[in-house]
Amino acid sequence: TVDMDKCTQCNYCSMICPHAAVRPFLLTHDEVDGAPSTLKGGTRSAIGGGALDNYNFRIQVSPLDCTGCELCVRICPADALAFVTVDEAIEQETDNWDYCASLPNHGAEVDKT
């Protein structure tokens, strides 16, 4: 699970995950409003300014794809990731993952230079 109160939005966890089970998502305010209740409190204003001011940010782990290698936990400079049992992760995060994965990709809003 990810503690979004600690997350610095560095995305190291998503970059190091060898299975792409950890992914960053940008959500509009309307998308947050339509999210499962378990996700609504787990977003933060996206940092970076400009167009990102209109988005919320979330790191979401796919509970069915995570293999438990712990690379994301080890690389996180803010200690924002923690492991739970597979059963807990599936129960807590499946709806959140399914919702985030269904959203349009807002990545074009990010300056990649």
What does the pLDDT look like over 4-48, one tens digit per residue? 999 999 999 999 999 999 999 999 999 999 999 989 889 999 998
Task: State the pLDDT at residue 49.
Answer: 84
Which two three-digit tokens encode residue 102? Answer: 């269904």
* Phi/psi at 50 (5° precision): 60, -130
Query: What pTM, to 2 d.p., does this model score?
Result: 0.91
Residue 76 has pLDDT above 80, yes or no: yes
Q: Are 55 and 27 in contact (CB under 8 A)?
A: yes
Query: What is the identity of the amino acid at 36?
Result: P
What is the structure's pLDDT at 107? 84
Q: Where is pLDDT greater, at 96 or 108? A: 96
